[in-house]
Amino acid sequence: MIDFKNVNFSYEKGEPVLKDINFSIEEGESVGLIGCNGAGKSTLMKVLLGLLPHEGEIKVGDLTVSKETLPAVRRKIGFVFQDSDNQMFMPTVYEDMMFGPTNYGHTKEEAAARVDEVLEELNLTYLKNKYNHKISGGEKRMAAIATILTMRPKVILMDEPSIALDPENRRRVINAINKLSTTKLIASHDLDMILDTCSRVILMHDGEIIADGPVEKILTDRELLETNHMELPFKLQGLQIKNN
C-alpha cells in the first residue's frame, strides 16, 4: 500500500533530513513511526503526501507520488495534522465534514449520510452542529479524525494524534484509531499510544530508519530506545524493573 525506495530529502542543500529511506507497508497494517524530536517523522509524512519534493520513489498503491499524480494520491490518503486548527476551516463540525465528500462530487444527501455514519461510529453525534471555535482541543482532534473518515481514505496518516490531550481524550483518540481497519501510519513519541494502536514500529533517528519490526520487539528494547533518546513505554517500565 505504501512503498518507499531510496527516498532522500533535504530542506537545505547539503543537510539531508531523510537519508535513503526504504520500507513497505501492506494493506491493513497499523504502523507506528517513532523517534525523538527532529528525527524526521513529520517530514517523512509530508513527503509521502507530496507536500515536499523528494529523490527516489514513493508509491501509494499503484500510484507513484509526483506532481502529476498529486490529486489522485490525495484522494487515497487522509492526513490528520498535528495542529487540528489547521485542518478545520469551516464554522461548524458538520460543514467541515461535508466539505470533502461534496467537493469530490457526492450529492448532499450522500455526503450527509456519510457524516452521520462516521459521527455515530465514533460516538460524536453531539458535536455535529457545534462551532469549531467553541469546542475543546480534544473534541477538535476527534472532529478532525471524523472529517478525514468521511472521505473513506485507503490510508490514514496521523502526526502526533495524542499530543496535548488529557488522558480521557487521549483514550478516545486511541479507541477511534483502533476502530479503523484502513492502513495506518502514526507518527508519535507517545510510545504507550503506539503500543496500544500499532502492530509494527519504524524507528527513525536523524533522518534514518534505525529499526523496523513488531511492536513487542522494538518497544521492549530499552537499549535501542535509550540510544535513540526515547524511553520504554510506561506500561512496560514496571515489567522491566522486575526483570532486572
Binding site for Mg ion (CB under 5 A): 41-42
Q: Which is nearer to ligand ADP, 19 or 74 (CB)?
A: 19
Nearest to 52 by CA among 86, 22, 11: 11
Q: Which is nearer to Mg ion, 42 or 69 (CB)?
A: 42
Q: Which is nearer to Mg ion, 159 or 192 (CB)?
A: 159
Which of 1, 8, 19, 42 touches ligand ADP by CB under 6 A? 42
According to the binding rule CB under 6 A, does residue 43 interact with ligand ADP? Answer: yes
Q: Which is nearer to Mg ion, 16 or 61 (CB)?
A: 16
- Say which entry of ligand ADP, Mg ion, none residue 161 contacts (CB below 5 to 8 A, set by partner kind): none
Q: Are 202 and 32 a contacting pair, CB within 8 Å?
A: yes
Minimum CB separation of residue 29 from ligand ADP in Å reads 20
According to the binding rule CB under 6 A, does residue 137 interact with ligand ADP? Answer: no
Kindly give, in sequence order, each residue whose CB lies less than 8 Å from that of residue 195, ignoring residues fewer than 6 positions away: 215, 219, 233, 235, 236
CA 102 – CA 53 distance, rounded (Å): 29
Nearest to 3 by CA among 59, 83, 82, 67: 59
Minimum CB separation of residue 124 from ligand ADP in Å reads 27
Minimum CB separation of residue 185 from ligand ADP in Å reads 13
Q: Which is nearer to Mg ion, 87 or 132 (CB)?
A: 87
According to the binding rule CB under 6 A, does residue 86 interact with ligand ADP? Answer: no
Nearest to 211 by CA among 201, 197, 226: 201
Which CB contacts under 8 angstroms, 24+ apart, belong to 207-212?
207/16, 207/17, 207/18, 207/19, 207/39, 207/40, 208/19, 208/20, 208/21, 209/21, 209/22, 209/23, 210/35, 212/23
Residue 171, C-alpha cell as written in the block: 483514550
Residue 158, C-alpha cell as written in the block: 496521523
According to the binding rule CB under 6 A, does residue 39 interact with ligand ADP? Answer: yes
Q: Are 161 and 178 a contacting pair, CB within 8 Å?
A: no
Which of 32, 40, 101, 161 touches ligand ADP by CB under 6 A? 40
- Selected range binding ligand ADP among 31-39, 96-104, 108-116, 221-229, rule: CB under 6 A: 31-39
According to the binding rule CB under 6 A, does residue 17 interact with ligand ADP? Answer: yes
Q: Which is nearer to ligand ADP, 17 or 118 (CB)?
A: 17
Q: Where along the sequence are the contacts to ligand ADP (CB under 6 A)? A: 11, 17, 35, 37-43
